[in-house]
Structure 1
Amino acid sequence: MTRPPFRFGPALLFCPGDRPDRFAKAFERADAVILDLEDAVAPAARDDARRAVAASDLDPERVIVRVNPASSDAFAADLAMLADTGYRTVMLAKCEGTADLVELEPFEVIALCETARGVLAAEAVAALPNVSALMWGAEDLVASLGGSSSRHDDGGRRGEYRGVPAYARAHVQLAAAAHGAAAIDAVHLDIADLEGLGEEARDAAALGFAATACIHPSQVEVVREAYRPGAEQLEWARAVLAAGSGEQGVFAFRGTMVDEPVLRQAEAVVRRAAAASGS
């Protein structure tokens, strides 16, 4: 199987699977909707969530279904439901190794590396041909470590990730990139902190993340704007690519040295702009 390309825009919005009244609105607002059968749904409501997802008629090209961990009792029921739908992109919660994906071969998979085992297994998981993306998660990761907080809460570093979550973010992105998969940044839990979300999403875009997951519709446009290159940045990227089209090797452009890595960065800016415009 050839690795499927990551086709979604930068703002992915979670929606509880047992709230079908929200499906259409979430689908309209975001670049892709993640219909959640896991953490957003109480265990007692998961059968209702499966029935709601099965009865939905959203365009499968912009739908991701988050299924329960492969080690859980709910996993088999999730897959049985999906077999009777057109949805073929799944997000596997708490993925901890390649064995967790054995039964997901018919699906495009976004593997959620959100435990200590999952982060350490990220490179092996990213190597599987049906894995289009890796996502990391801070809160489940810290819980798996026996910790209680993923972020600093005092001093000048308030809101920044602590060391291990920051490492996990980098590790998962490196693992994805090493195998040609996309990387998705974690959710920002403080819904009211749109400024902090914007800063994190701009950082993610600059580093090459393909998307940021959202938990509330108000976060969608903030993420989109963060991934959209500014006019000045886009003008530079197009100009330096034009200047480099006739050059061989290193050259000077507007007082700075330009070589192949800089040209690839400029190409990334142009691609982000095209994705933001839907072209």
Structure 2
Amino acid sequence: MDTATSWTMPGPGWLFCPADRPERYAKAAAAADVVILDLEDAVSPDAKAGARQSIVDDPQDVERTVVRVNAATTDEFADDLAALEKTPYRRVMLAKTETRADVDKLDGHEVIALVESPLGAVNASQIAAAENVVGFMWGSEDLTAGLGGRRSRLAEGSYHPIVTQVRGSVLLAAKAHGCFALDSVFMDIGDLDALAAETDDAVNIGFDAKVAIHPKQVAVIRDAYAPTDEQVAWAEGLLAAAEGERGVFTYEGQMVDGPVFKQAQQILRRAEN
């Protein structure tokens, strides 16, 4: 079943922020389109209770904030949900989503399923069919650990083929069920050129946004998603030409059919952000 949500994504630059660092909330919000307040990996076990209290005490813009909760199979999950009930947040990223039953525990919330295990990867389509799943993200490092591997990337920096396979399967599951898809984080904060190249690939293949782990990565992500002046001019010209055409036609030497028309519309949508 396709998922319906009234939420419009504010932009493609998402940023993780440790939930136990409320002094960073406003700075993260100023840097990013969407902030993910993280109750999971970014917070040590002894700081989790304080992190939960922080998301209650320091509310942020509901339309631009997501809370990442601990996996549904952990002892921390129930406490995360109890804290959420004291906040206005209803859009949740579920760490290590593995089954539809995990998502069912978040009834009443819009869920971004974070697939980062072998079981979650093989169940992605089943998870996507849950009515409250609105989006997907995937993660490479936990996935690689779950496979018993040592490195998610090859020596030259590209992902190992099995990791790329999971990336693609999560994207397919999301799009097949009307969900948005977030590309995974890029861990080498200093290598902005490689981040730009990876984000370009995410844009080209259909990911709706990419998640950052440092504020300086957000500008690179936004730049990659922003269409060039030439792309905007092409899209505007194509859509204008289409008004006087019926069915398939030719524009600047290229055959234009339904998929090409949709690509032009997508370029203009991104230009508006």
TM-score normalised per structure 2: 0.97
Q: Is the 8 A contact 1:114 1:141 kept in 2?
A: yes
Q: Which residue of 1 aligns with 2:78?
A: 76
In 1, the alpha carbon distance for the partners of 2:102 and 2:70 equals 11
Distance, in Å, in 2 between the alignment partners of 1:38 and 1:249 is 51
- The amino acid across from 2:164 in the alignment is A
Task: State how far apart, in whole Å, the 1-side matches of 2:15 and 2:89 are.
Answer: 16
Measured after TM superposition, the shift of residue 7 of structure 1 is: 2.0
Of 150, 167, 170, the match for 2:168: 170
> In the alignment, residue 267 of structure 1 is paired with which amino acid?
Q
CA distance in 1, matches of 2:129, 2:245: 35
- Name the residue aligned to 1:131: 133
Residue 178 of structure 2 corresponds to residue 189 of structure 1: no
**Cα offsets for 1:108-146 (capped at 9, x unmatched):** 110001111111111111112221111011111101101
Distance 1:99 1:81 in 2: 21
Unaligned runs of 5+ residues in structure 1 are none
Structure-2 change in CA distance of 1:241 and 1:182 (3 Å) = same
1:11 touches 1:224 (CA, 8 Å); kept in 2? yes
Give 2:191's aligned amino acid: D
Asked whether the equivalents of residues 6 and 182 of structure 1 are also in contact (C-alpha less than 8 Å), the reply is no
Q: Which residue in the other structure is 2:257 paired with?
A: 259
Q: SS at 1:183's partner residue?
A: strand
Report the CA distance shift for 1:269/1:104 in structure 2 as closer, same or farther (over 3 A).
same
Q: Give the 5 Å matches for 1:45-124.
A: 45-124=47-126
Letter in 1 for 2:115: C
Q: Say if 1:2 and 1:179 are closer, same or farther in 2 by CA, change over 3 A.
A: closer
Distance 1:122 1:76 in 2: 23
Cross-structure match for 1:273: 271
Match of 2:228 in 1: 230
* TM superposition score normalised by structure 1: 0.95
The residue that corresponds to 2:12 in the other structure is 10
Alignment of 1:139-158 (within 5 A): 139-153=141-155, 158=156
Counterpart Cα distance in 1 of 2:12 and 2:143: 23
Contact kept, 8 Å, 1:113 with 1:137, in 2: the verdict is: yes
- Determine helix, strand or coil for the equivalent of 1:271: helix
Seq. identity, %: 51
Structure-2 residue corresponding to 1:201: 199
Partner residue of 1:217 out of 203, 215, 225:
215
Number of residues of Structure 1 aligned to a counterpart in Structure 2: 271
What is the letter of the counterpart of residue 51 of structure 1? Q
Gaps of 5+ in 2: none
CA displacement 1:22-61 (0-9 Å, x = unmatched): 1110011100110000001111111111111111121111
Q: Provide the rounded CA distance (Å) in 2 between the counterparts of 1:40 and 1:222.
A: 22
The answer to whether the 8 Å contact 1:6/1:133 transfers is no
Q: Kindly indicate whether the alpha-carbon contact (under 8 Å) linking 2:99 and 2:120 is maintained by their aligned counterparts in 1.
A: yes
Amino acid at match of 2:217: Q
1:2 Cα offset (Å): 5.9
User: What CA distance in whole angstroms lies between the structure 2 residues aligned with 1:159 and 1:107?
Assistant: 37
Runs of 4+ in 1 over 6 A off after TM superposition: none
1:186 partner letter: S
Q: Which moved more, 1:243-252 or 1:218-227?
A: 243-252
Q: Secondary structure of the equivalent of 1:104?
A: coil
